[in-house]
Structure 1
């Protein structure tokens, strides 16, 4: 290749690269409205973003992998935590952690109810941005990793159902706090419930999926095949937690020699209040 050919090649390569770069840039801008669900940017979402900046949430948390990496990434948090949980957590984060045990505690920000509602709306908008699967392993507020939607293996918690339609202006009723605390117990009790049970229909692991547990319990209590002492759904759920061998699922998949594979230590490791909270959460799994 002589000098003239080399110059032509260099100029041609530069122009081709510039055209490709310009085309990709224009195509990206064309897709931004859909990728960022811009049509859902409401005044409440904008105010929620202002709340995020006002309280310097990014000093500890990350969105889209950008932030301080001190506390969990919240990019998809509304797909992993229910609205009730997020509201209760933001009102009083100290009730979800024991600082001596967990060695960390989110500061009490004293957010107003309006700020909480709008911040959750902002986080839900963030969660619905098409970020091409980033972050690949979102970190939950319990500090553990979770698999993406549809995961079904033992030890792979499935996200709690939530979507842009679930994060609305509905007032949080008085029972939401106890149910949200129960969700926290479900994910943090030792051993953790999510290590064996998923919340996705049909996604059985070391333990059965808990999706639809209320409906199945009602059918069991009415069937005449129930072997335990409970008389209602709440009683059955409490019994299953503290005395899992009181009634054994048929088929032998989750028990052997008349003993459930589920640990029988929760009656000792959980307080009565925590058991009550856990039962309240499980009763939401219709």
Structure 2
């Protein structure tokens, strides 16, 4: 190839590449309204975006994998946690861990009720954007110890099978205050009951351990109740979750490998190990997992 042919080849190749790039750009812009659910951008969503920027949430969190990478990615947070959980957490994050032992993980921003509602609307819109699988996995923040306890995850796992009198505070948990949010208290019980729920169950989507992931539990419970195949006695989602805790063999998911001969592998001791109030708090937390 001589110099003239090389020059022509470079010009033609550049022109083709530019044309393809422009075509893809035009096609992307054509699809943006559909991919981003632009028709669902309400006034509350716009106000929620203003709240996101006002409090510099991106200084710690990420959306679509973009941000500070210090705290979890919130792209799909409203599909994993319900409005009740998010509202309680934004009102007072310190209820979900012990600042005296685990330092301040999330600052209390003193958001108003309207700001919290609008921010959740914004995050809910974000969660419905077709991000085509990006980021490829949840960005999780983990620590060496369980929030609200003195124990590491390994030490807490060793408490499985230890007897406990009804009404006693779960091992390692902070004393419960009646002024604290029941969802926050329920999350603490999830991590500190005996046996500890998080020793067998994850709340990350697709992460199955000794027991199935509890991500999306409330949604699955609702579908199970409406399926016609449900064998238990519960009438609503909260009742189904509480029944699953206290009587795990009442309904066994067909095909699941977490039972044998009609008996669930999950311990059936929680009805005695936890007080009715603690069961209600644990149920409230699990019901917030959409």
Q: What is the match of residue 191 of structure 1?
A: 197
* Residue-by-residue CA offset, 1:29-85 (whole Å, 9 max, x unaligned): 211222222222222111111111111111111111111111100011111111111
**Residue equivalent to 2:3:** 3
Report if the CA contact (8 A) 1:61-1:68 is conserved.
yes
1:66 aligns with 2:54: no
Distance 1:118 1:250 in 2: 37
Match of 1:155 in 2: none
1:44 alignment counterpart: 44
Matching residue of 2:283: 279
Give unpaired runs (5+ residues) of structure 2.
144-180, 203-208
Question: Shift of the alpha carbon at 1:181?
Answer: 3.8
| 1:67-106 superposed matches below 5 A | 67-99=67-99, 104-106=104-106
Change (3 A) 1:81 1:186: farther
Name the residue aligned to 1:261: 265
Shift of 1:182: 6.9
State the alpha-carbon separation in 2 of the partners of residues 237 and 75 from structure 1.
Answer: 26
Greater RCO (Cα-Cα under 8 Å, separation 6 or more)? 2
What is the CA deviation profile of residues 176-227 of structure 1, one whole-angstrom value per residue up to 9, with x for unaligned ones?
x63x4477358645332444245689x9xxxxx75567789x95459xxxxx
3-state SS of 1:126 partner: helix
User: Unmatched 5+ residue regions in structure 1?
Assistant: 144-176, 204-208, 223-232
* Matches of 1:237 and 1:282, distance apart in 2: 7
Which residues of 2 match residues 209-224 of structure 1 at below 5 A? Answer: 210=221, 220-221=232-233
TM-score (normalizing by structure 1) = 0.64
Residues in 1 aligned to 2:241 and 2:80: alpha-carbon distance in whole angstroms? 23
Partners of 2:101 and 2:18 lie apart in 1 by 56
Runs of 4+ in 1 over 2 A off after TM superposition: 98-105, 139-143, 180-191, 197-201, 209-216, 218-222, 233-245, 247-251, 253-261, 263-276, 279-285
Q: How far, CA to CA, are the matches of 1:91 and 1:129 in structure 2?
A: 26
SS of 2:197's partner is coil
SS at match of 1:75: coil
Structure 1 contact 199–210 (Cα < 8 Å) conserved: no
How far did residue 105 of structure 1 move?
Answer: 2.6
CA separation of 1:182 and 1:133: change in aligned 2, threshold 3 A: farther
Does the CA-based 8 Å contact 1:89-1:96 persist in structure 2?
yes
For residues 257 and 132 of structure 1, what CA distance do their matches in structure 2 show?
41
Structure 2 Cα separation of the partners of residues 244 and 263 of structure 1: 8
Q: Report the counterpart of residue 119 of structure 1 in structure 2.
A: 119
